[in-house]
Chains A and B, each alone.
Chain A
Amino acid sequence: MTGEGVIRPAAPRLSRRKLLIGLGVGAATAPLAGCDAGSPAALKVLEKAEALTKAVQRALVPRTALAVEYPRAAITPTFKPNGSIDPEDAEYVALKQNNFTDWKLEVGGLVERPMKLSLANLRALPSRSQITRHDCVEGWSCIGQWKGVQLSAILASAGLKPQARYIAFFCADTLEQTTDNTGRYYETIDFIDAFHPQTILAYEMNFAPLSVGHGAPLRLRVERQLGYKMAKYIMRIEAIDGFSGIARGRGGFWEDRGYEWYGGI
């Protein structure tokens, strides 16, 4: 018996084709039996490391420490898009056809002043531009320029209610077809990241309007975490007091499929 045999549940065997699709499109969800159908005790133990990692990194890393910003010459020639690259959701397709002129970012939840912002509204606000490194959980990195509105400015004008603890991002793309409607992309971050100066809602990439492959019309940049935290195709932002009631309750599409909520490593 090998070491892994001790805790491995009878894992569904992925066909190569499924595996490739999973790796390529980012939907390798089938083998996450441990997370979907009653976690084995061992997984519960392994998950404890995440809390330790988060606590230690949050203690070591100053709240305002900036991710490294690179010179323009360092921009990766072909920035690899990942996850959804062309959502087929009807609502999104319709918005895309009108070049997102009908699109409005909803800001709601536990805020004093719910808002709806068009792309033009967002572009009229003060912006931040940054050339940063995007680190995918798979291992690769690309460097690109991003320009957008600081999330902190949006939250300040909407006014957070005192019970708000996290910011949730609800997206237009369905990354996995599910029967319980939990395949729509979403993400959550806490206020340490929400109010970080480099956390922006980006509408521009590499000095051009954000492309569909990279999340048009608006995507999140959370520069000190991994790529899956940076939701694309954002439709609605909500201030929330917890995320246990959203989808499968772990705070994000990939988190629901076994990945860590804290994506700083």
Chain B
Amino acid sequence: MTSVTTALPARDAPTGRVVFRHSLVVRICHWINAGCFVVLLMSGLEIFNADPALTWGPATNFDHPFFSLSATENDNGDPTGGVTTIFGHAFNTTGFLGASRGDDGELDERGFPSWATLPSYQDLAMGRRWHFFFAWILVINGLVYFAYLGGRLHIRDLWPSLADIKAIPRAIVDHARLRFPKGDEALHYNVLQKLAYLSVVIAFPILILAGLTMSPAMDSAFPWLLTLFGGRQAARAAHFLLATYLVLFVVVHLVMVVLSGPINNMRSMITGRYRINEVER
């Protein structure tokens, strides 16, 4: 018996029932969003590689970026290693960040390695083409998502209640023990799921706003964007950091999908049907 089972009306739960979990719109939006995210991330890293450093404020502080990727060179000017600098602290990231091996096996000076960028070779113009095309798909998809499901009903699914907040410590312990909700409790998102999904639903629009703040045309019409982020370069940094947060979310998301029943989870996001594991008697 676990704390979960004692809280549930276990006898009422029919065995192994299949519930309809995700509506068609949510499922389609989810997969379009997932595809766009991969393309936008990789093409975004391509664009970042053209100037692989971040600073705050309106203009670039070339001498003191808070984050930069660079390469060390030998006397011939050939790269010998990759260096990641964060708040003045340098880390050797040879082979991954700053300098990595290309198809010919030679070390190239590159911010992010070719396997992480779209296109794989250095081509800012093509990176921008990919990025802006899929940014539009993401935005249109997001508008559909918010229009159909951003209404009260779906937000209520994600907004944590007071009881949820109080249950955070228990939820953390349960997750750490890989003890996942069963029975009726599995019909709803638990508090950690709510907070994670809600943060993503909030992060995406802010990330898009930060991206738009990098547009000089948008800045002329909406100068408050610059105020909001603290300048164009700060918006560029925010865009990068929010994208980093989303990458972390996706990693945890995928780990949880695998740990809590990958086939059942995938089916629920493809067909909508989700099998509830019943509580042990």
Q: How many Å lie between the Cα of A3 and that of B106 in the bound state?
A: 24
Chain B residues with Cβ below 8 Å from A43 are: 126, 129
Distance in angstroms from A78 CB to nearest chain B CB is: 7
Interface contact tally, CB-CB below 8 A: 157
Question: Which of A16, A68, A137 touches B78 (beta carbons < 8 Å)?
Answer: A16
Q: List 24 A-B contacts (CB under 8 A).
A: A3-B38, A4-B118, A4-B119, A13-B104, A16-B78, A20-B77, A31-B126, A43-B129, A49-B132, A50-B132, A52-B136, A57-B217, A60-B218, A68-B226, A74-B58, A139-B48, A141-B232, A143-B58, A143-B59, A224-B216, A225-B216, A258-B126, A265-B214, A265-B216
Distance in angstroms from B66 CB to nearest chain A CB is: 14
Question: Which of B125, B136, B212 touches A49 (beta carbons < 8 Å)?
Answer: B136
Chain A residues with Cβ below 8 Å from B103 are: 13
Question: Which of B62, B126, B136 touches A32 (beta carbons < 8 Å)?
Answer: B126
**CB distance A48 to B60 under 8 Å?**
no
**CB distance A13 to B132 under 8 Å?**
no
A11 contacts the other chain (CB 8 A): yes
**CB distance B119 to A67 under 8 Å?**
no
Q: How many Å lie between the Cα of A49 and that of B39 in the bound state?
A: 15
Q: How many Å lie between the Cα of A8 and that of B126 in the bound state?
A: 10
**CB distance B106 to A16 under 8 Å?**
yes
A168 contacts the other chain (CB 8 A): no
Q: How many Å lie between the Cα of A53 and that of B78 in the bound state?
A: 40
Chain A residues with Cβ below 8 Å from B223 are: 68
* CB nearest to A17 among chain B residues: B77
Distance in angstroms from A182 CB to nearest chain B CB is: 16
Instruction: Indicate with 1 or 0, residue by residue over B125-137, a CB within 8 angstroms of chain A CB atoms.
Output: 1101110110110
Instruction: Kindly identify, within residues 1 to 51 of chain A, every residue whose CB is under 8 Å from any CB belonging to chain B.
Output: 2-4, 8, 11, 13-14, 16-17, 19-20, 22-23, 28, 31-32, 34-35, 43, 45-50
**CB distance A223 to B216 under 8 Å?**
yes
B122 contacts the other chain (CB 8 A): yes
A76 contacts the other chain (CB 8 A): yes
| Chain A interfacial positions (CB closer than 8 Å to B) | 2-4, 8, 11, 13-14, 16-17, 19-20, 22-23, 28, 31-32, 34-35, 43, 45-50, 52-53, 57, 60-62, 65-68, 70, 74, 76, 78, 80, 133, 135-143, 223-226, 254, 257-260, 264-265
Instruction: Indicate with 1 or 0, residue by residue over B45-66, a CB within 8 angstroms of chain A CB atoms.
Output: 0011011000000111010000
Q: How many Å lie between the Cα of A8 and that of B42 in the bound state?
A: 14
B6 contacts the other chain (CB 8 A): no
Contact of A47 with B109 at beta-carbon distance under 8 Å, contacts A57-B218, A67-B216 already known: no
Chain A residues with Cβ below 8 Å from B268 are: none
B193 contacts the other chain (CB 8 A): no
Q: A31-B122, A53-B136, A258-B126 are in contact. List 4 more A-B contacts (CB 8 A).
A: A8-B119, A22-B122, A23-B50, A259-B128
Q: How many Å lie between the Cα of A109 and that of B40 in the bound state?
A: 42
Chain A residues with Cβ below 8 Å from B217 are: 57, 61, 224-225, 264-265
Contact of A32 with B108 at beta-carbon distance under 8 Å, contacts A135-B232, A138-B50, A139-B47 already known: no
Question: Which of B59, B107, B109 touches A133 (beta carbons < 8 Å)?
Answer: B59
Chain B residues with Cβ below 8 Å from A226 are: 216
Chain A residues with Cβ below 8 Å from B118 are: 3-4
Chain B residues with Cβ below 8 Å from A45 are: 133
Contact of A258 with B232 at beta-carbon distance under 8 Å, contacts A20-B109, A49-B132, A138-B51 already known: no
9 nearest interchain CB pairs?
A264-B217, A258-B125, A139-B51, A265-B215, A61-B221, A140-B60, A49-B133, A138-B50, A46-B129
**CB distance A74 to B132 under 8 Å?**
no
Q: How many Å lie between the Cα of A106 and that of B146 in the bound state?
A: 54
Instruction: Indicate with 1 or 0, residue by residue over B205-232, a CB within 8 angstroms of chain A CB atoms.
Output: 0000000101111111101001000001
**CB distance B123 to A31 under 8 Å?**
yes
* CB nearest to B46 among chain A residues: A4
Q: How many Å lie between the Cα of A223 and that of B217 in the bound state?
A: 8
Contact of A140 with B133 at beta-carbon distance under 8 Å, contacts A4-B42, A16-B79, A34-B126 already known: no
Chain B residues with Cβ below 8 Å from A65 are: 220-221
**CB distance A28 to B133 under 8 Å?**
no
**CB distance A16 to B58 under 8 Å?**
no
Distance in angstroms from B245 CB to nearest chain A CB is: 20
Q: How many Å lie between the Cα of A67 and that of B212 in the bound state?
A: 14
* CB nearest to A226 among chain B residues: B216
Instruction: Pick the most buried of A17, A20, A48, A141: most chain B CB atoms within 10 A of its CB.
Output: A141
**CB distance B232 to A19 under 8 Å?**
no
Q: How many Å lie between the Cα of A178 and that of B152 in the bound state?
A: 61
Q: How many Å lie between the Cα of A223 and that of B219 in the bound state?
A: 10
Chain B residues with Cβ below 8 Å from A20 are: 77, 109
Chain A residues with Cβ below 8 Å from B216 are: 67, 133, 135, 223-226, 264-265
Instruction: Indicate with 1 or 0, residue by residue over B95-133, a CB within 8 angstroms of chain A CB atoms.
Output: 000000011101111000001001111111110111011
